[in-house]
Amino acid sequence: MNPLSASPSRSQPVLERRRLQEPYPTYNVVVLDDDVNTFQYVVDCLVRYIPAMGPDRAWELAQRIDSQGSAVVWSGPMEQAELYHLQLSTEGLTMAPLERT
């Protein structure tokens, strides 16, 4: 009899298969400071492409980009992060590579 196909006997412990649940990885979309784009242009791009981004929040982020050199403008699943990164980059914003958190 093949030991791999044998049914477990009472003397053999039954191993339970456990499903590991890991959180879905998130990624940061980071805009970098540059000397090309105006505050208003950065605000317009953020409002246009980042969901639920209002002008006030976009203005705060533009100021942070200017004063600190960069700002995380969105965090979430990789596929969406790739899309927003591509859209902002296509508009001419200076982007850092996606950051996995």
For residue range 55-71, what is the model confidence (pLDDT) as tens digits?
999 999 999 999 999 99
State the Cα–Cα distance between residues 44 and 53, nearest whole angstrom.
Answer: 10
Each residue's pLDDT tens digit, 14-34? 777 777 777 789 999 999 999
Q: Which residues contact 54 (CB under 8 A, 6 or more apart)?
A: 47
Contact in structure between 71 and 64 (CB atoms under 8 Å): yes
